[in-house]
Amino acid sequence: MTHNNPPFPSADHDHKHCVSHALKNAEAYCQQQGLRLTKLRHQVLELIWANHQPVGAYELLDQLTHEGRKAAPPTVYRALDFLMENGLVHRISSRNAYVGCSHAGHDHTAQFLICESCGQVAELDNAQIGSVIAKGANQLGFTVAQWTLEISGTCDQCKHRSQDE
């Protein structure tokens, strides 16, 4: 399944669609790859997709507990490990937090826009950025295995919102 690069999530977008899309996509992908998207992993993935803000592991742990599951830190970290290994979730290392992947199944590296005002995160998959980075590294004889790019700033809506005040 292909879809074009999503813009920064707007305040009034149909987020239920984001969630159901992400979950169905994950189910299909795991099915196809012979991966076990267990109830716990599914539950964690759904919690992560509650919104477009990155969520901490211990916050997920609280929510799991409130949903009636017996959970301890390893519970959530193991689920996160599975989801990250299989490209369903990314870690935002500048925030020690986790966010659902918008391009699950595609082979890609992470590029994030993080709005400091509303806390939302958008994931890019800008090929130009990737190629410039690869080129810059290769010029120095460096072989790139992977990379992360975390861009902080202000999203379009928050800019306009602040103008209104």
What residues make contact with DNA under the rule CB under 7 A? 36, 38-41, 56-59, 69-75, 77-79, 82, 91, 96
Mark residues 70-109: x for contact with a copy of itself by CB under 8 A, - for none: -----------------------xx---------------
Give the nearest distance from C-beta 64 to DNA in angstroms. Answer: 8
Binding test (CB under 8 A) with a copy of itself, winner from 137, 161, 163, 164: 137
Q: Which does 75 bind (CB under 5 to 8 A by kind): Zn ion, a copy of itself, DNA, none?
A: DNA
Query: CA nearest 80: which of 109, 45, 35?
Result: 45
Say which amino acid occupies 3. Answer: H
Does 2 bind a copy of itself (CB under 8 A)? Our answer is: no
Please give the Cα distance from 46 to 145 (Å, whole number).
Answer: 29
Candidates 10-18, 62-70, 83-91, 132-140: pick the segment binding Zn ion (CB under 5 A): 10-18
> Which residues are CB-contacts of 88 (< 8 A; sequence separation ≥ 6)?
26, 29, 45, 100, 101, 104
Residue 38 binds which entry of Zn ion, a copy of itself, DNA, none, CB below 5-8 Å type-dependent: DNA
Query: H or E stretch including 110?
Result: strand 110-115
> Looking at 45-53, 60-68, 78-86, 132-140, which segment touches a copy of itself (CB under 8 A)?
132-140
Residue 124 Cβ vs Zn ion, minimum distance, rounded to whole Å:
15
Question: Do 114 and 92 form a contact (C-beta atoms < 8 A)?
Answer: yes
- How many Cα atoms are found within 13 Å in the side-chain-facing hemisphere of 59? 11
Buried b (16+ CB within 10 A) or exposed e, 30-43: beeeeeebeebbbb
In the complex, which residues of this chain contact Zn ion (CB under 5 A)?
9, 15, 18, 115, 117-118, 155, 158
